[in-house]
Amino acid sequence: MAARGGINAKGESAPQPVKVQRYWPGKVPEGAKDYSSEEDEEEQQQFERQKERELISSIQRVDFSEREVASDRRLQRLKEAREDASFQPIDRRRRHEVKAETSEIHINEEDTSQDVEEDENDIALRRKHIRNRAIEQRRIEEEKLKAEEEAERTLSEDKEEEAEEAERKKIEEIENRKKETHAILAEKIQKDMLNEVKEESSVLKEVDDTDGIDEQAEYEAWKLRELKRIKRDKEERRAREKEQEEIERRRNMSEEQRLKEDMERVRKQQEEKPKGKYKFLQKYYHKGAFYLDPSESIYKRDYTEATPDETAHKELLPKVMQVKNFGRAGQTKWTHLADQDTSKKDSAWSQKSDINKRSLHKLAGLHHGGFDKPTAKKRKF
pLDDT of residue 254: 92
Q: How far apart are the first and last CA of the chain?
A: 149
CA angle 298-299-301, nearest 5°?
A: 70
The region that residue 327 occupies, defined by phi over 0 for left and psi between -120 and 50 for alpha, beta otherwise, is left
Residues 6+ apart with CB under 8 A from 340: 334
Q: Is the pLDDT of residue 70 over 70?
A: no
Per-residue confidence at 86, pLDDT binned at 50, 70, 90?
very low
Q: Which residues contact 310 (CB under 8 A, 6 or more apart)?
A: 279, 281, 282, 283
CA distances from 288 to 127, 285, 299, 305 (A): 102, 9, 10, 16
Query: Sorting pLDDT into bands at 50, 70 and 90, what band is 259?
Result: very high
Distance of CA 102 to the CA centre of its chain: 88
- The proportion of the chain whose per-residue pLDDT surpasses 70, expressed as a percent, equals 63
Between residues 195 and 286, the one the model is more confident about: 195
Cβ within 8 Å of residue 98, ≥6 positions away: 51, 54, 55, 58, 90
pLDDT band at 3 (very low <50, low <70, confident <90, very high): low
Alpha-carbon torsion (151, 153, 156, 161), positive or negative: negative
- C-alpha closest to that of 50 among 103, 86, 100, 104: 86
Tens digits of residue pLDDT in 280-326: 878 877 766 665 676 777 777 777 788 877 767 788 888 888 887 78
Pick 105 or 315 by higher pLDDT. 315
Q: Which residue has the higher pLDDT, 108 or 250?
A: 250
> Which residue, among 321, 289, 288, 285, has the nearest Cα to 305 in the 3D structure?
285
List 14's β-bridge partners, or say none: 6
Lowest mean pLDDT among 28-42, 62-76, 83-97, 295-309: 83-97
CA distance 173 to 90: 118
Instruction: Evaluate if residue 334 carries a pLDDT over 50.
Output: yes
Phi, psi of 210 (to 5 degrees): -105, 35
pTM of the full predicted structure? Answer: 0.24
State the pLDDT at residue 108.
56
- How does residue 103 score in pLDDT terms, banded at 50, 70 and 90? low
Q: What is the mean pLDDT of residues 163-170?
A: 89
Residue 346's alpha-carbon distances to 204, 337, 342, 350, in angstroms, are 66, 20, 12, 7
pLDDT tens-digit readout, 223-248 = 999 999 999 999 999 999 999 999 99
For residue 88, pLDDT over 50 is answered with no
Say which range, 92-106, 118-132, 158-172, 361-375, has the weakest mean pLDDT.
92-106
In the predicted model, what is the mean pLDDT of residues 104-113? 56
pLDDT at 69: 58
- 252 — pLDDT class (breaks 50, 70, 90): very high
- Going by pLDDT thresholds of 50, 70 and 90, the confidence category of residue 85 is very low
Distance CA 152, CA 159 (A): 10
Q: Please tell me the predicted confidence (pLDDT) of residue 89.
A: 45
What's the Rg (C-alpha) of the chain? Answer: 68
Of 26-30, 268-272, 299-303, 368-372, the range with the lowest mean pLDDT is 368-372
